[in-house]
Structure 1
């Protein structure tokens, strides 16, 4: 199909506009990922402090045997996306969540983050009972983590350690810029965390001590452990979401550049043909004038 210069010019202008949008999205994804990455690192350091507190508590009081909840209600918290342009980010995690839910003998209650994740889970036969709004910035991660912990408290009727079994499903960074869906058990608390003092005990020559009452202190440490775990899962999910969007925008930008080169080549060929035709018209006209007999 023969294309005119006007058509190719419009196509070039459209592709240039699309490239500008893609480049803006790529830049925004790169910029947005940085605060979430800093938040993930910060909460990891905070979590290590909480874990040190738990080890110090166990070293002071001795191993703690948590009661085993035989009829614990299973809760699956899935951290997804509320925005597009990130490929099959939600669909891959939804498959992982369905696989995890199918392992349970009893019904699993699902909480999810992100409207698009809600849709992806529904496509897999899972019906989230609550859908949380994902954080719009790194400052909103604390709000989201607090909302989730509060919801877990409501489901566990204030006794989350004995009445519910919670698993977190989110996407984390893998090697070479890749990401992978993971599931991380949160509750009940791992026995090694409170009883295996030989492996994860207090590593210091100084003896730990505390002045608070033991039960409120342990409850506070465990609550902060839960909060930090949920916070880290949310931050890691936001980092990988923006990384997935960045990779997709890079591919889109390269595709637009390739298309621009192709259209630019076509434009030059058509322009050259038109110039050649114009020159031929001039030459033919000149030759016709030369052959015209003189008028008397």
Structure 2
């Protein structure tokens, strides 16, 4: 039996497929389903006839994701409150995706921006710009001509550049922001935090209609700071707050005893100021989050 006919070949590609599927779908659970469906198709295929297994698997996984997006779009129209991508814990020290260029494609702000693209724009952009797939293979995955794929990528790049969501600030800036955020929660004093936020910052929270949270995003520095100082600190007074890498940046995991009850992540502008605060409280999107080990 050759390597091609064993799980070994698939397992070498699985991390890449999972990374692609997560970025397309914004959900680790759905991404794992797409990758598993890809494996089933791979296992059932005549692998001896597949000249380029990696390209074949990428094509199948991309198509699985696009199929899922069609049904996901319908379900999100009935979603209660703000929808945020499922948070993913990352390891910038050990994971190769800790490189800035790759980490920036995992940020919540970037994943939300992708939601504004058409499904094929999203897939084409990710395949070419993040995973370095050539246009010939993208055309096969999307069942389009190469010229059409080039246009998809060009349009998507314009949206990404205008949105300016691929900023990952320095580790020192992230630590300063997180320290000021935690201090504001604990003391109600927001002076240090205010200096690290943009004037038009947005705080968004996803409870999925399952736990209490703000129903709509909060806009502007004054209102965001007031909410943190006057309400959020009290709401979270009994929660432990543990630092963790969340979607390529430093954030928090909230715990209540042994239970994971939330995560907090941030987005930044080119000057290193926070433009967004993302709070995940939907328990269905926290099942893959683990409590970080205290150092």
TM-score range normalised by the length of the shorter chain:
under 0.3
- Which one has more relative contact order, counting CA pairs under 8 Å at least 6 apart? 1
Structure ranking higher in helix proportion: 1
Looking at CA atoms only, which structure, 1 or 2, has the larger radius of gyration?
1
TM-score by length of 2: 0.23
TM-score by length of 1: 0.23
